[in-house]
Amino acid sequence: MKDKLIKVLLKALSWGVLAVVGGVILSIVGGWIAKDPITFTQQVLNGLQLGFVYAMIAVGYTLIYGVLKLINFAYGDVFMVGAFISYFGITKYGFSFLPALLLAAVGCVFLTVIIDRVAYKPLRESPRIAALITALGMSIFLEYFTALKFVFGPDYIAFERPFKLITWNVGGVTFTNIQLVIFATSVIFFLGVQYIIKRTKMGKAMRASAFDKGTARLMGINVNAVIAATFALTGALAGTAAMLYATAYPQIWTFMGIQPGLKAFVAAVIGGIGSIPGAFVGSLIMGFVEAMTVGYVPLGSTLKDGVAFLLLIAILLIKPTGIFGDPFEETK
């Protein structure tokens, strides 16, 4: 009874503080809208474009954390490999958008499953810090191995878009077909992941394994197969996100996964690591904050990365478990 009361009070306090902070932010944003609504709308669209891409990566972080309680720091580099796979599919084999997208997704599925089998599976029963260090090592390995001249090379490469850029202007606000593709694809994947987790047999097995692996094994669930399926699903998300990101920002190189990977991880923490809706909402918040920083803060293009991590610090101070997080999650 006492724990329940404390839980209710903690939630009420955290949401109260968030409400106050939200009110301040809304007043600032209201001033921007009143001053120049067209510029504000344009920045919102730019933020959504970035936020939807972050969302796909953040959901991948969340799925792995939910099942394994592992922060897969190599995930941003899987994203990078997906961008190069789609690049070679378009330039070498003349693939259109959908085949290149499928190729990137399948390639990243294969890579994530191999990484799990080689680097993470042997450490299933080890302390979490061992798996975390291994994830960091795998990230560094992928970055520097792919930078070798006989792999992808260390130079920036211009990404050839698989379809022609079309721009529309409505009331002074510009938007493109790339943004529409990103929005639609991200929402479809988000709904698909939600359906898999909530409605399918594999999703139920994932939730059972996340709650208690020992009991799940006693109930006949092949936990290793469930973990492999989770990695495969995150690989599909990374490959798709990479293709969309490279299409929107057509320049790739072997260290391109660092910043999007970190930003998506921050977004997942802001939303509540382990919560799929939280990862999605946190990513949209991250994209919005970045766009507003660039649009309204002096030297914003330089400061946007710092502001993103300041946002993380603020959320951790106000509500350490994130917006959708459960303060008693680790004690379950």
168 forms bridges with which residues in the sheet? 175
Rg (CA), the chain: 20
The pLDDT tens digits for 157-175 are 999 999 989 999 988 888 8
Check whether 54 has a pLDDT greater than 90: yes
Could you tell me which residue, 210 or 19, shows the higher pLDDT? Answer: 210
Q: Where are the domains of the chain?
A: 55-159+201-256
The pLDDT tens digits for 14-52 are 667 767 767 777 787 777 777 778 888 899 999 999 999
pLDDT band with cut points at 50, 70 and 90 for residue 136: very high
Q: How far is Cα 32 from Cα 48, in angstroms, rounded to an integer?
A: 17
- Asked if 99 and 35 count as a contact pair (C-beta separation under 8 A), the reply is no
- Asked if 250 and 161 count as a contact pair (C-beta separation under 8 A), the reply is yes
Check whether 273 has a pLDDT greater than 90: no
The pLDDT tens digits for 58-79 are 999 999 998 888 889 999 999 9
Quickly tell me which residue has 């390639």 as its tokens. Answer: 107
